Amino acid sequence: MNTACLGLVQKRFFTFAEPPHELVLESGERLGPVTIAYETLGALAPDKGNAILVVHALTGDSHVAGCYTKEDARPGWWEIMVGPGKAIDTERYFVICANVLGGCMGSTGPSSINPATGRPYGLSFPLVTIGDMVTAQKALVDHLGISRLLAVVGGSVGGMQVLAWCARYPEMVRGAIPLATTPRHSAQSIAFNEVARQAIMADPHWRGGDYYGGAKPDLGLAVARMIGHITYLSNESMRRKFGRQLRSRDALSFHFDAGFEVESYLRYQGNKFVERFDANSFLYLTKAADYFDLDDYAATGLAGAFKGSRTSFLVVAFTSDWLYPTGQSRALVQALKRNGLEVSFCEIQSDWGHDAFLLPNERLHTLVAAFLSRIFREGLAGE
């Protein structure tokens, strides 16, 4: 087994919203039944006061840590943070991670079978929001018998879910850790997502989203991933890793193959991505991220979204994150403080761009571990 893997985990499934009790979405449409894929690590305390919900970023999944089998020893996407003795210590906490509604890693999404037709939903799947994803996660948490979460933790689009949890269900969240995130997308962020979506929809194999059972829009999805991947990095990280290195050290190739190392890297990332992800899910999840705006949770704007909350926050930004720059986190912190909430904020020096929260970082590890330990002790003390 991969020595980095904390142990074996099992993907589980929770199905709810069976007709006629469908899930009512923010759009007003109804969806059911709904299945959510999830995984758990650690043991739930008798008082159920040690549960932490980890929410993944745009194209992540429920496999946050551990390995499925000894043969399939690929560790989870946040193995560096979740596990025994790590920042999110599975010897102390009960960790839950679910694949989002609209995803393609076991949760109901556009690639799922529509029970009304017996065929994949495709574009007949209703548009979902970050709020809808959180509503589905709450149904799972309720199913597990947990009335209050010690913390909700996530980065990027996962951070949006953290904020939506705090706005929708403030009484259920003791602590919140939104990392490298934003209370709303800028026009630039929406623009990048739209170009990525157009790359998929321009692929002749997309066929209006009805490509299941035939050739898939792999080229369009690969280009979409390449576009997104550029936004996750920083100029400095790309300079360090690639510079202007040529694949052939001798000379320019004078053709349109991947002559530069950075070109080869992006093509590799795009081609690997199409092996695991559904193009329609990419469309739906990027649109959900674009729609997210904390102002929508209160008539009085961003500050009003947290009115009445008693949640403690740890907000973390990274200096080289140009997708969700630090100023957006500072605006969030100001809104939280206007509500009199307990807020810790840290901007971590990093040259690795938006993806820094997914990479080993001693400062981030220390901050998260200390924050969780404090609110856990306060919970034991009855505060």
CATH number, position 325: 3.40.50.1820
Residue 3: inside a domain = no
Same domain, 310 and 163: yes
Residue 4 is assigned to a structural domain of this protein: no
Indicate if 273 and 302 belong to the same structural domain.
no
Shared domain check, 304 and 175: yes
Q: Does residue 340 lie within any of the structural domains?
A: yes
Pair (81, 94) in one structural domain: yes
Instruction: Tell whether 242 is covered by a domain.
Output: yes
| Per-run averaged pLDDT (10 residues), the chain, 383 residues | 64 97 98 98 97 98 93 87 97 98 98 97 98 98 98 98 96 97 97 98 98 98 98 95 82 81 95 97 98 81 78 98 98 93 97 97 98 93 65
For helices 279-291 and 130-143, the axis angle rounded to 10 degrees is 100
252: in domain: yes
Q: Which of 62, 321, 329, 355 is catalytic?
A: 321
Alpha-carbon span 365 to 338, nearest angstrom = 28
Give residue 26's pLDDT. 97
Q: Are residues 267 and 314 in the same domain?
A: no
pLDDT value of residue 35: 98
**Do the Cβ atoms of 177 and 213 come closer than 8 Å?**
no
Residue 5 lies in a domain: no
Domain of 373, in residue numbers: 12-185+294-380
Active-site residue flag, 321: yes
CA–CA gap between residue 57 and residue 53 (Å, rounded): 13
Residues paired with 175 in a beta bridge:
151, 312
Of the three residues 234, 259, 285, the one that is the final residue of a domain is: 285
CA dist., res. 220 & res. 200, Å (int):
4
**Any domain includes 256:** yes
Residue 269 within a domain: yes
**Cα end-to-end span (Å), the chain:** 42
How many domains is the chain built from? Answer: 2
Both 212 and 272 in one domain: the answer is yes
156 has catalytic annotation: yes
* pLDDT value, residue 2: 37
pLDDT of residue 254: 82
Domain CATH code at residue 196: 1.10.1740.110
203 lies in the same domain as 181: no
Q: In Å, what is the CA distance from 366 to each residue of 49, 86, 197, 298?
A: 22, 9, 37, 34
Alpha carbon separation from 367 to 88, 281, 373 (Å, rounded): 11, 33, 10
Catalytic residue among 62, 111, 112, 156: 156
And the tokens for 301? 């704007």
The reply to whether 147 and 206 lie within a common domain is no
Do residues 139 and 273 share a domain?
Answer: no
- Of the three residues 250, 285, 320, the one that is the final residue of a domain is 285
Element of type H or E holding 151:
strand 149-155
